[in-house]
Structure 1
């Protein structure tokens, strides 16, 4: 049995697609049963057909792998229901809303989505409701099975020694980086210039002399929406959006353009394209007031004082981050950069170009702080930062000393996987299992087939 710890995300990354929401593309029949949970032929083959439509390579035995994943999911759902594990309707509604926003972003508007699907947004949500509920129940059941699994240093050592010591992975240099950042404030004159510029764009749109999306493509300083005319799909309840942006957007009627307003990113105007309750499609233009050398130098002077305190030891790095850093993520990370997987050890390729150049030019050593240095973020917004090199590894073969945390994480995942497999081995024989002859050639379903055959012999 392949890793059941990761099967849920793998299954639903590919099966939650428009083909499933819009139409059945195979003649349906029941091809599997786990307890009282049925598996339809379309559940398996629609996924394969959709991959082919997207031009993806489909493995020869993809039907076997997908069938195994769905059998595993159904078994977890069945046990979750027996154990009275609950998933709230509000939670499912939030997941459905997020999925619909993804579809709307993909197809450009709610109307385009409904036209392609041949169904209303409400109907599409109902098509997905049971699927989303089963996924969440399976996740909860999986988490319950492994919640008490821990790993000891001895187990980590044994895990490492079982590896092929002549073929251990090689790791490039990695760093643990902390930052204290300050965002210089533009002068009032330059802020006024930006506001006047956006007011002029607003007048052009409202007079009909120019289209909003064309102005956005030409002038917005938001790289995430520049190419599609400043367009975003948003939801009033999402916490990821700037509050000022949401508040100004949801005051608008369709086609209306907002007054100029300020967010943490700069100054904006928004045009409401369409709205359905808490969901909306908007266009916006972002302009960031220019920062002069005077503002940069003022920020450098402020951080010079902070660096002096750090070097003197009168303040810790964590305290300095809490008092002086203007990076909102700092309060969650203590100023330390993190990768997508939550790791604080980052390869140089994961850092921005300016930060890599700073590390190479200054020859910063672990435990040292850089001088305050100007930089620009991914949106082009200027800032000044102190960089703290907390740790740096040298290029090396995997070993217990340098890679203990990484090895402990991997060893824990293996231990959880074994616990899940043991759980399945004990539970599957107690379930009624039926698998259609279409899948009798699937070697990966051997254990499931055995239990299915045992059920048939009992009848």
Structure 2
């Protein structure tokens, strides 16, 4: 940050990470006598920056570093090295992506606190000011990430390097891998009666007519009737690009031009929507929507469960494989196109720890052995938040164990890559320190810093 800029990026990063309640509860200490304690190039670290960061850590209940008046200034100084490099590399954050992230974070705040006005009251600042601060935080995070990615883009992991890394790992550093399972699933959506679909469309048409005639506000109707998580925000979704939504929704949302009119009814995998334009900004739009989902009766769920149980019996008899049944019978497009294999969104692999599975699946799988196929059961589709029926096949069960190359190569490979990338970054930082003017006030320099060469 420049000498004239007193905003503490690290403190604000607590907002971007979701710890915005702690931020609001810890106003800056106006009694601090400010001073420049570090200089890095043509930028400074102020005492107030460090004190504000300490206040945030205490408010969040985070453990303080062993020597915070050494650790925190160095972290701020390293950040300035990254930003200086970004200027030389002409790295800039894409405004559209930043706007999208900022609006999502603001939406999250509104959902947590109840309204835009309550957000402003909680943070003691206007919505516009908070938006600008968030944008700068996320801009800095993006730029630093890009610098680090450029520095480590050539780091590769070969089997020999991974094996060498693992062999040198101290015994007490080898991670414990909890029980993991691999599963396949066939998911079937119960048939929705046409009368239910017609009733939903009639309700949406009635809402549209009242809004278009000026009898009611779209946001009010969304709060009262929408079944989407955005209901409490009046259905507002924030600024998004076309690729952020399913095509059926995006195609209609991006065609809207009159904020006073309501779209036609849009059917997606999530249900039925009507949409109202709020604003357009470049390649992004901000819209409100109302979502109504068809509700399936217990009788329809039971009928679907019995039908799927019949399919399961055919698989057990060997008339066709689970893979084949998943390809032709499953309604979930993601697993259907992958032989029914469930993918862990956290890791990108097919392995799950039990707590990462949908709870209904975990309950069923816990009692199964590899190769077993469950009876059909009812579960909540985590993507659509609707009741569906499913059968699962347990492909593998790996008991908890100390990591080894035979069973956990990919995990060890990721550990190697992370360690090697950190080495590259550390080497770059130390070289950057050598080539950058730095000055530390005498009373702040009696530290065992992580990086060498700060004190010239």
Q: TM-score, normalised by structure 2?
A: 0.73
Distance 1:355 1:308 in 2: 21
Q: Are 2:143 and 1:137 aligned? A: yes
Match of 1:359 among 354, 365, 374: 365
1:44–1:63 contact (8 Å) kept in structure 2: yes
Match of 1:419 among 419, 424, 429: 424
Q: Deviations over 1:403-451 (max 9, x none)?
A: 22212211221122122222222232011112344533443x2645xx3
Map of 1:230-241 to 2, 5 A cutoff?
233-237=237-241, 239-241=243-245
Q: 1:161 to 1:307 in 2, by over 3 A?
A: farther
Compute the displacement of 1:298 (Å): 5.2
Partner of 1:390: 395
Partner of 1:340: 346
1:234–1:280 contact (8 Å) kept in structure 2: yes
Distance 2:125 2:363 in 1: 53
Q: Are 2:180 and 1:152 aligned? A: no
2:440–2:455 contact (8 Å) kept in structure 1: no
Q: Deviations over 1:126-177 (max 9, x none)?
A: 4455543333222111111111112233333333333443675443321012
Mean Cα displacement is larger for which, 190-199 or 65-74? 190-199
3-state SS of 1:288 partner? coil
Distance 1:15 1:157 in 2: 40
Compute the displacement of 1:381 (Å): 1.9
Q: TM-score, normalised by structure 1?
A: 0.72
Distance 2:133 2:241 in 1: 23
Compute the displacement of 1:52 (Å): 3.6
Distance 2:97 2:208 in 1: 39
Q: 1:202 to 1:77 in 2, by over 3 A?
A: closer
Q: Deviations over 1:3-56 (max 9, x none)?
A: xxxxxx988642655969x98645554333322343333433323323444555
Distance 1:166 1:89 in 2: 45
Q: 1:402 to 1:348 in 2, by over 3 A?
A: same
Map of 1:160-179 to 2, 5 A cutoff?
160-165=166-171, 168-179=174-185
Q: 1:133 to 1:353 in 2, by over 3 A?
A: closer
Q: 1:84 to 1:236 in 2, by over 3 A?
A: closer
Distance 1:359 1:120 in 2: 47
Q: Are 2:78 and 1:76 aligned? A: no
Match of 1:377 among 374, 381, 389: 381
Match of 1:186 among 189, 192, 205: 192
Distance 2:450 2:402 in 1: 38
Across the aligned residues of Structure 1 and Structure 2, the Cα RMSD in angstroms comes to 4.6
3-state SS of 1:149 partner? coil
- Gapped runs of 5+ residues in structure 2? 1-8
Map of 1:106-117 to 2, 5 A cutoff?
106-114=112-120, 116-117=123-124
Partner of 1:439: 444
Distance 2:78 2:374 in 1: 52
Compute the displacement of 1:353 (Å): 3.0
Q: 1:231 to 1:89 in 2, by over 3 A?
A: closer
Distance 1:84 1:251 in 2: 36
2:165–2:416 contact (8 Å) kept in structure 1: yes
Q: 1:184 to 1:236 in 2, by over 3 A?
A: same
Distance 1:15 1:33 in 2: 26
3-state SS of 1:453 partner? coil
Partner of 2:54: 48
- Gapped runs of 5+ residues in structure 1? 1-8, 455-459
Distance 2:438 2:65 in 1: 26
2:12–2:137 contact (8 Å) kept in structure 1: no
